[in-house]
Chain A
Amino acid sequence: DIQMTQSPSSLSGSVGDRVTISCRASQSISSYLNWYQQKPGKAPKLLIYAASSLQSGVPSRFSGSGSGTDFTLTISSLQPEDFATYYCQQSYSTPPPYTFGQGTKLEIK
């Protein structure tokens, strides 16, 4: 199975900061990489699909990049509502499983 590794596991930031979260796949997954945001006690929410496409309704301060094995989620200017845990997920495997990264917790500094 394809393994997904996120870094860092946690980070802190202030409102207005630019932050970057990385995700690495154990083998090439082309651009079949999604990003989700999860707030405590809530279901995950799709932010980015196909590595760089913004899901409808998601603010433009979120962006994704990368292909092959290395991917990045960037928040250009942190807002209070962005403090959450972020997960990457690959959907390259055929057949599944569609594995998730272990998550990155973004906390207020």
Chain B
Amino acid sequence: QVQLVESGGGVVQPGRSLRLSCAASGFTFSSYALHWVRQAPGQGLEWVAIISYGGSNTYYADSVKGRFTISRDNSKNTLHLQMNNLRAEDTAVYYCARDHFGGLVRGTMLNYWGQGTLVTVSS
């Protein structure tokens, strides 16, 4: 069965960096686009970033553009989110999610999700 397991969360000071990882299993990792979605405490879902199956196409929410970088290692079935210059407003549970397709396809959906990892940005 499809499994996505996030790691790398923790407490970090404002302005510092953190790298999240998402280990995948149960499907052909290199065939699917992947997303990061976050949820601030007590708040709704916010889409963060997407990477295509091969890694050549990436897009970001305006709130993280220029600070966050999504990447993937298809040889290790792992997705990453490098988060730089962190702010208090980046505090959230970060979920990785699998796309239904490999490329960036209009009409797609996020049909598998990990359990999330909590990032707390605080001095």
Contacts and interface: CB of A to CB of B under 8 A. Distances in A.
Nearest to A101: B44
Contacts of A85: 44
B107 A50 contact: yes
B104 A44 contact: no
A100 B109 contact: no
A87 interface: yes
A42 B61 CA distance: 23
A91 B106 contact: yes
| A contacts with B: majority SS | loop
A43 B113 contact: yes
A78 B59 CA distance: 38
Interface residues of A, number: 31
A20 interface: no
Contact of A97 (B61, B106, B108, B115): B61
B47 A99 contact: yes
Given A43-B114, A43-B115, A44-B95, A100 B106 contact: no
B113 A44 contact: yes
Nearest to A94: B106
Interface of A: 1, 30-32, 34, 36, 38, 42-46, 49-50, 55, 85, 87, 89, 91-103
Interface of B: 35, 37, 44-47, 50, 59-62, 95, 100, 104, 106-111, 113-116
7 contacts: A34-B109, A36-B45, A38-B45, A42-B115, A50-B109, A87-B44, A92-B107
